[in-house]
Amino acid sequence: MYIQGFLVPVLSGKKDAYLAMAKDAGEMFQRYGAIEIVEAFEEDIPEGKHTDFRKAVKAEDGEHIVFSWVIWPDRATCDAAARAMEENEEMEPSEDMPFAGPRLIYGGFTPIYTLGRD
């Protein structure tokens, strides 16, 4: 299993557009082999005193933060999907993206231990 995590600053007034984009992207990820996709909008999370998700992405007034992750069977499937999506015209960024791409944070890892999974 390989997990990709994303911290996404969604622009003010663009929540519905982000959810629509995420739905379309999620369907595409699944066609390329993703097992599970979660998009979690911030809800009732207090600001940290020194650090938090909002500070990490330098959120601006009115922006919402999404913590998202995609579970892949393995790193090879994830990498193959990334290459295929780079060539897919559906994935071309548009000028009216509903999130601040330059402030998006992402990374991936292979779990050392998974409880309750085969």
Q: Residue 39 domain-assigned?
A: yes
Q: Residue 79 domain-assigned?
A: yes
Taking 70 as the threshold, does the pLDDT of residue 117 lie above it? Answer: no
What average pLDDT score do residues 34-57 get?
Answer: 85
Residue with the larger pLDDT of the pair 40 and 49: 40
Q: How many structural domains are present in the chain? A: 1
Please report the pLDDT score of residue 18 as a whole number.
94
Q: Three-class SS string for 8-74? A: EEECCCCHHHHHHHHHHHHHHHHHCCCCEEEEEECCCCCCCCCCCHHHHCCCCCCCEEEEEEEEECC
Q: Residue 97 domain-assigned?
A: yes
Q: Residue 1 domain-assigned?
A: no
Residue with the larger pLDDT of the pair 51 and 22: 22
Q: Residue 115 domain-assigned?
A: no
- Domain span at residue 40 reads 11-109
Taking 90 as the threshold, does the pLDDT of residue 106 lie above it? Answer: yes
Average confidence score pLDDT of the chain: 89
Please report the pLDDT score of residue 96 as a whole number.
84
What average pLDDT score do residues 17-25 get?
Answer: 93
Q: Residue 3 domain-assigned?
A: no
Q: Residue 20 domain-assigned?
A: yes
Residue with the larger pLDDT of the pair 118 and 2: 2
Q: Residue 116 domain-assigned?
A: no
CATH for 22: 3.30.70.100
